[in-house]
Amino acid sequence: MNVRVLFFAGLREALGTGSESLALPDGIATVGALRDHLAARGESWSALATTKNLRSAVNQLMVAADATVKEGDEVAFFPPVTGG
Amino acid sequence: MSVSVQQADFDVGAEMAALSAGRDDVGAVASFVGLVRADKAAAADAGVAPAVQAMTLEHYPGMTEKALQEIVDQAERRWDVFGIRVIHRVGRLLPGDRIVMVAVASAHRGEAFVACEFIMDYLKTRAPFWKKEETPEGGRWVDARESDEHAAGRWDSGPN
């Protein structure tokens, strides 16, 4: 399954990248599993596990960690928002 | 009903006037404008120079506009309002610069005030913007505030 992953704000800086297209191994079907998969790369990627109250979105809608990820989805991870 | 995400500044008076232009049923236009604050009092308390020298607003293009529109749509469903305008700036801003404007037109002040406050509370917790402050010590991402979550939570029990 191929997905596009986006990172924003402090998380983007910690990872040193704002986006990535990747092929997921079988068995990764939720936002939470994708987060764990990326965090398991180690080093700076552990920021995905340690960022407090990490938020996520699928296809530009805010979702919880148990949300399903499908082929072609755009999945974003970011810290709590601070606009306004 | 319209939302804009832009680098450019905006004219608050012109935007508010536009909400009632050409109609005679608008009895109230309420607005909120958020500005970049230098936070001199906090800096003085800490015995340092004013902390915020500038601020850069990052956002999630595409999702930002959708999230703002969803908030505006929800306000329309909850209250009897005639028009809503939301403008949020992105990019580098200086103390005193406008960041955001929400304006709501309705027949009476009650709906206009409450819808305006609802939109700001939801925008603060649901629209994907992030502030990074420039300080003498370097860049610093602004932390989300518990009080903002609490403010938005007040509206959750109402009708959608």
Q: Within an 8 Å CB–CB cutoff, is residue A9 touching chain B? A: yes
Closest residue to A82, CB basis, from B62, B120, B130: B130
Q: Angle B109-126/B63-78 helices, nearest 10 degrees?
A: 150
- The pLDDT, as a whole number, for residue B47 is 65
- The pLDDT, as a whole number, for residue B38 is 84
Tell whether the model's pLDDT for residue B44 goes beyond 90: no
Tell whether the model's pLDDT for residue B45 goes beyond 80: no
Chain A residues within an 8 Å CB radius of B87: none
Q: Do A78 and A8 form a contact (C-beta atoms < 8 A)?
A: yes
Residue of A nearest to B101 (CA): A84
Mean pLDDT (whole number) for A38-58: 95
Q: Token match 């992105």: residue?
A: B90
Q: Which of B74, B65, B54, B71 is nearest to B139 (CA)?
A: B54
Domain range for residue A64? 2-78
Task: Convert the pLDDT of each residue in B95-110 to its tens digit.
Answer: 999 999 999 999 999 9
Residue A84 resides in a domain: no
Tell whether the model's pLDDT for residue B21 goes beyond 80: yes
Q: Do B28 and B112 form a contact (C-beta atoms < 8 A)?
A: yes
Residue A57 resides in a domain: yes
Residue B108 CA: distances (Å) to CA of A42, A48, B49, B99: 57, 47, 45, 27
Q: Do B132 and B139 form a contact (C-beta atoms < 8 A)?
A: yes
Whole-complex ipTM: 0.95
Q: Which of B148, B156, B56, B53 is nearest to B95 (CA)?
A: B53
Residue of B nearest to A9 (CA): B130
- The pLDDT, as a whole number, for residue B43 is 63
Residue A25 resides in a domain: yes
* Number of domain units in chain A: 1
Tell whether the model's pLDDT for residue B159 goes beyond 60: no
Window A:18-77, CB contacts with B under 8 Å: 53, 57, 60-62, 76
Tell whether the model's pLDDT for residue B2 goes beyond 80: yes
Band (B1; pLDDT cuts 50, 70, 90): low
Higher per-residue confidence, B122 vs B146: B122
Tell whether the model's pLDDT for residue A14 goes beyond 80: yes
Residue A23 resides in a domain: yes
- The pLDDT, as a whole number, for residue B157 is 74
Band (B52; pLDDT cuts 50, 70, 90): confident
Residue A36 resides in a domain: yes
Band (A72; pLDDT cuts 50, 70, 90): very high
Share of chain A above pLDDT 90, in %: 96
- The full DSSP string for A4-61 is EEEE-HHHHHHHT-SEEEEEPPTT--BHHHHHHHHHTT-GGGGHHHHSTT-EEEETTE
Residue A38 resides in a domain: yes
Task: Convert the pLDDT of each residue in A24-37 to its tens digit.
Answer: 999 999 999 999 99
Mean pLDDT (whole number) for B7-18: 98
Q: Which of B106, B133, B101 is nearest to B120 (CA)?
A: B101
Taking an 8 Å cut-off on Cβ atoms, the answer to whether A10 and B141 are in contact is yes
Residue A83 resides in a domain: no
Band (B125; pLDDT cuts 50, 70, 90): very high
Chain B residues within an 8 Å CB radius of A14: none
Task: Convert the pLDDT of each residue in B58-98 to its tens digit.
Answer: 999 999 999 999 999 999 999 999 999 999 999 999 999 99
CATH at A54: 3.10.20.30
CA B140, B62, B65, A84: dihedral to nearest 10 degrees?
A: 0
A44 vs B99: CA distance, rounded Å = 32
Taking an 8 Å cut-off on Cβ atoms, the answer to whether A60 and B66 are in contact is yes
